[in-house]
Structure 1
Amino acid sequence: MKITPARPDDVAKLLVFREEAAAWLTRLGSDQWQRPYPADRLLATIEAGSVFMVMDGDVTAATITLTPEAEEGLWTEPELREPSTFVTKLTVARTHAGQNLGGRLLDWAGDRAYRAGAKWLRLDAWTTNEALQRYYLRQGFAYVRTVREGGAVNGGPRVSGWLAQRPTEPADHGFEDNT
């Protein structure tokens, strides 16, 4: 399997990929990702070079977004002064579930962040998705805190404010890295 940067013509494919993940989460009883993701925001992150895809032949097996910028209101000023890479939208196709693809992709992200000089690989997860939170803890992340206020709409409740981090380090992730 190889990792490649997403291209602008991948927007439609990645939106469907996210819709499939949202439907799966709904079947599990989660309210995560129930609002459609805006295509223009996805295109902007692709054009910024932040979106990556794991390809298994011609099939998109997983995707991840990496950025040096944190979502506003989540991390403290002292934390923001530490060089970090932020993981968002990690998604694995159901056809590729159970193969530790997400764990390997997090290792790839930590390796990439390490090589870029970041100290931390950080993320925020859905506050009500305890299974996802446990997954990240099993992947070596340490819980930092949960931010419940200051959501994007009118400063209301935040739905994705469970914060975790792990140190970056070199990793043998096993992907062909075409980034």
Structure 2
Amino acid sequence: MILVPAELADLPRLLKFRTDSAAWLTQLGLDQWAKPFPAEHMAQSVKNGEVFLIKEDLAADAAATVTLDRDADARLWTPEERQEDALYVHKLSVDRRYAGADLGGRILDWCGDQAAKAGARWLRLDAWTTNPRLHAYYRAHGFTHVRTSNDPDVVSGWAAQRPASLDSGHGLALPESLAPN
């Protein structure tokens, strides 16, 4: 699998990841991601170079997406935690065609690798508060629950982190044409 930075032209596909995931989660009885995501917010993340698509090859449709940034939600992370060097995983979505292959785990390992290369101490994320299956998934991938927000406006309030670490075994890479020299 290769990993490529998303472009603004990919915005419809990025939004489709969100709606497809919401439909699948609805079948599981969860309201996660049921509210449409503001396209302009995602577009800004794309412009910032924070959104990535995972593909089998450059011509293939995306198998997954992830946003990796330094955006620490002040409602989830204390001022002291926000001062620590960390990268944050957002909007990780895997197309259902790739379910069961642990592509999400490989993406998390790539994110941890990127965090370590950036000198960050932590790889952090938040998850839908009412999705214990997702919490278990992240725990199985080395994340430790830090806290759950009791703010009624924070639906993705289950905060977790794991140490950033170099990991070349994730099998994801930029194509040679996009790799830095």
How high is the TM-score relative to the length of structure 1? 0.94
- TM-fit CA distance, 1:62: 0.6
Per-residue CA shift, 1:2-59, capped at 9, x if unaligned?
0000001000111112111110000011110001111111111100111011012312
Letter in 1 for 2:155: V
2:174 and 2:134 map into 1 onto residues whose CA distance is: 26
| Structure 1: distance between partners of 2:38 and 2:71 | 19
The percentage of counterpart residues that share the same residue type is: 48
| Aligned counterpart for 1:67 among listed residues 60, 69, 72 | 69
Q: Distance in 1 between matches of 2:82 and 2:150?
A: 19
- On the 8 A contact 1:25/1:32 being kept in 2, the answer is yes
Moved beyond 3 Å, runs of 4+? none
Between Structure 1 and Structure 2, how many residues are aligned?
A: 173
Q: 1:159 offset after TM fit, Å?
A: 0.5
Amino acid aligned to 2:88 = F
Deviates more, 1:10-19 or 1:136-145: 10-19
- 1:39 aligned partner, one-letter code: A
List alignment gaps of at least 5 residues for structure 2.
none
* Cross-structure match for 1:176: 173
Q: 1:40 and 1:19 mapped to 2: Cα distance? A: 16
Q: Distance in 2 between matches of 1:165 and 1:176?
A: 23
Alpha-carbon distance between aligned partners in 2 of 1:166 and 1:100, rounded to the nearest angstrom: 18
CA distance in 1, matches of 2:13, 2:154: 28
Structure-2 residue corresponding to 1:85: 87
- Distance apart, 1:177 and its partner CA: 2.3
Asked whether the 8 Å contact 1:148–1:159 carries over to 2, the reply is no
Counterpart residue number, 2:28? 28
- CA deviation map 1:113-157 (0-9, x unaligned): 1000100000110000010000000000001010121xxxxxx43
Q: What CA distance in whole angstroms lies between the structure 2 residues aligned with 1:177 and 1:144? A: 32
Moved more, 168-177 or 3-12: 168-177
Secondary structure at 1:18 match in 2: helix
- For 2:146 and 2:118, locate their aligned partners in 1 and report how far apart those are by CA, in whole Å: 23
Could you state the TM-score of these two structures normalised by the residue count of structure 2? Answer: 0.93
Q: What is the DSSP-based 3-state SS (H/G/I as helix, E as strand, rest coil) of the residue aligned with 1:177?
A: coil
- SS of the residue corresponding to residue 176 of structure 1 reads coil
Decide which of 143, 147, 154 is 1:158's aligned counterpart: 154
Q: What is the rounded CA distance, in whole Å, between the counterparts of 1:50 and 1:175 in structure 2?
A: 16
| Cα deviation, residue 77, structure 1 | 1.1
- Runs of at least 5 residues in structure 1 that lack an aligned partner in the other structure: 150-155
